[in-house]
Amino acid sequence: MLKKIKKHSLKKHTEKKLTDRDISQRNTPLKYLGFLVDEVFFDDFELLYEFGNELGLQRKDVKLFTFVETRRKIPSLRQNQITNKEFNWRGEIHNQNAQEFLDFPFDVLIGFYKGKHEFLSAMVAQSKAKFKIGFNDADERLFDLLLTVDLQKPEAFKSEVKKYLKILKKI
């Protein structure tokens, strides 16, 4: 029952954030790149940092935040990680690192997950990123650009994102 309330609240929270979004800075060139990643689906984070380097960014200008359903018992030094337990029943995030990530004005934010994902979608909606890229059946209201790419094939993902960033004159 509490899970249903939480998911309903996440949807309402997402809807509200969508109406409040400022799109006036959408066309700024790429200086800061952010990734929101579902760890169940993808865990080669070094590849994402290398991709930022290929786009002409330094490692410090590429930020990564991941979602995992539940934390493992093994201690981890990873601070840029959030679980479903850190969302309260009203859909609010109780993770200081996540809040800082979402408040950072990325020039491009890439939602690196497949389909509809309540928790990551809520984070994308809350993000202050200027331009948002999503993939494969994601909620089109959240993103400025949706690409149909097999995310398990990194080269295809990289070439598609590069192509559109060039077309949009972000790089």
Q: Tell me, rounded to whole angstroms, the distance of Cα 70 from its chain centroid.
A: 18
62-67/132-135 β-pairing = unpaired
Three-state SS for 108?
strand
CA distance 110 to 62: 11
Give me the pLDDT at residue 110, please. Answer: 97
Weakest-pLDDT range from 61-70, 82-91, 142-151: 82-91
Architecture of the domain defined by 2-167: 3-Layer(aba) Sandwich (3.40)
User: Does 64 have pLDDT greater than 90?
Assistant: yes
pLDDT digits over 85-95, tens only? 998 877 789 99
Average pLDDT, the chain: 88
Q: Where are the domains of the chain?
A: 2-167
How far lies 65's CA from each of 9, 34, 104, 112, 168, in Å? Answer: 22, 8, 12, 10, 25
Residue pair 71/84 in contact by the 8 Å Cβ criterion: no
CA distance 107 to 64: 14
Pinpoint the alpha helices (H) of the chain.
2-19, 45-54, 96-103, 118-126, 154-167
Give me the pLDDT at residue 75, please. Answer: 56
CA distance 84 to 63: 20
pLDDT digits over 125-145, tens only? 999 999 999 998 888 999 999
Give me the pLDDT at residue 104, please. Answer: 96
